[in-house]
Amino acid sequence: MSATATGTWPNDFRTAPWHPTDHFIDGVWAPSVGTGRIEVVNPATGEPWASVPVAADEDLEAAMGAARQAFDTGPWPRMTPSERAEVLLRFAAEVEARSEALSLTNTRENGSPVAETGGAAANAAGILRYFAGLAPHLEREDVRPFPSGVGESVVRRDPLGVCALIAPWNFPINLVVIKLAPALLAGNSVVIKPASPTPLSIRHIVDAAHAAGVPAGVVNLLTGNGRTGDAMVRHPSVDKVAFTGSTEVGRKIAAACGELLRPVTLELGGKSAAILLDDVDLDAFARVFVRSCMRNSGQTCYISTRILAPRSRYDEIVDTITGVVAGAAQGDPLDPATVFGPVAHRGQFDSVLEHLASARAEGARFMTGGDVLPGPGLFIAPTVLADVTPEMRVAREEIFGPVVTIQPYETVEEALEIANSTPFGLGGIVFSADEERAFRVAELVDSGSVGVNFFASNHAAPFGGRHDSGLGVEYGVEGLQQYVSYKSIHRASHA
């Protein structure tokens, strides 16, 4: 372990302990005033391996003050978007240079297999490069004549100010970067708070931003607990809040921002459905099933964990899914061959077990899995539940673990009714050998994003939830627009 002005870093990200005592404030790693600690436990071993400080009020004030000063008097919002884009491109390269450290830290924090986290740096760099490419959108002249012909309006896209970015534990790198990249390109300054179980991997991102030349005070990082996040949301210096996490917490943040008339973006829970039409190609479906329906050991907001199967092919589909899940490797997330790792933390582990107990009590048929694996760590065998009915708890609530449910349907209309019957609306997939038919069905799914025969996030297309799945969007030009304030300057015609 080495402690310097550039922060405290372990000598070996695969095995070494890590106990930093600082936050990143105003361009330096500043010793924490707060003396409390948050313990970080490796869910694959059950062993504590790291800890971080809990920010005190003084730490929060220092970070907010730095961000406010950087916005009010610093160079960042006064640079052109193209100049900021050049910094974002350097930032992307610095992130890629930290790929292995990011991957290993992420895996030790939340148990995501390295097969997943190994791509996190490249994805984060891709997000930064995409938004850097949107600089012309902010720079283009936008002049709009009055319909009456009496004048014209020049429309400006100004940065909002100080943004509070609050991240989840399931994808602690990219679900920060998807907020950070557009916020920075637009000219804002930020204060980041990672989730308590995953407070370390974001330090690599902040270090990369600093190395790329992001000015002091523009990017700040605090670690802490729920109280820290609540104080950030309500802080008078904050002009915008962006949060990814549970719907329960999102409602509280939305209420606070509504009271304060503060812009907020919320990416919340999901209970998405995969509708398999009666002509589905099961071999093709099997190849994308884990990525589409159980990614990251089921701890992904948009995956389609409810499988809706036509009655005419129900048994065949149940057998196919069971075979894929039972045949996928579970174990050490540091092993590149591992598909399913542990559940990320004890609270989520207990929640998944509670849902499985309800499935047993309500009559679901366990095709594979459902048991806690012996030995250390928070491992639950990947589970396929067949004969699930819409009123069962596992059909209604987000489980967020290695569990999929399978429900039969008679008609496509019934399948759509089931798919649209939850309060969520985040993702979804339609599988069919006829892509045009699948597309027509996808248009009827009440969700912010729907895939045809696969699902993936497109950096260039808006991603956001309907209903209880959130407010606003991320990705795309629309994601950038969440971080600007529009100003219209009117001037008369002098013809």
- The burial class, CB within 10 Å (0-12 / 13-18 / 19+), for 444 is middle
As a whole number of angstroms, the distance between CA 490 and CA 152 comes to 6
> Which residue do the tokens 């990017």 mark?
219
Of 398, 327, 397, nearest in space to 367 by CA: 327
And the tokens for 55?
Answer: 């920010």
Distance, CA of 117 to CA of 336 (rounded, Å):
10
Point out the residues that are catalytic.
267, 301
SS (H, E, C) the chain: CEEECCEEECCCCCCCCECCCEEEECCEEEECCCCCEEEEEECCCCEEEEEEECCCHHHHHHHHHHHHHHHHHCCHHHCCHHHHHHHHHHHHHHHHHCHHHHHHHHHHHHCCCHHHHCCHHHHHHHHHHHHHCCHHHHHCCCEEECCCCCEEEEEEEEECCEEEEECCCCCCCHHHHHHHHHHHHHCCEEEEECCCCCCCHHHHHHHHHHHCCCCCCCEEECCCCHHHHHHHHHCCCCCEEEEECCHHHHHHHHHHHHHHCCCEEEECCCCCEEEECCCCCHHHHHHHHHHHHCHHHHCCCCCCCEEEEEHHHHHHHHHHHHHHHHHCCECCCCCCCCCECCCCCHHHHHHHHHHHHHHHHHCCEEEECCCECCCCCCCECCEEEECCCCCCHHHHCCCCCCEEEEEEECCHHHHHHHHCCCCCCCCCEEECCCHHHHHHHHCCCCCCCCEECCCCCCCCCCECCCHHHEECCECHHHHHHCCEEEEEEEEECCC
Per the listing, tokens 């499985």 go with 356
Quote the tokens at residue 315: 């048994």
Residue 439, classified by CB atoms within 10 Å of its CB into exposed (0-12), middle (13-18) or buried (19+), is middle
How many Cβ atoms sit within 10 Å of the Cβ of residue 467? 16
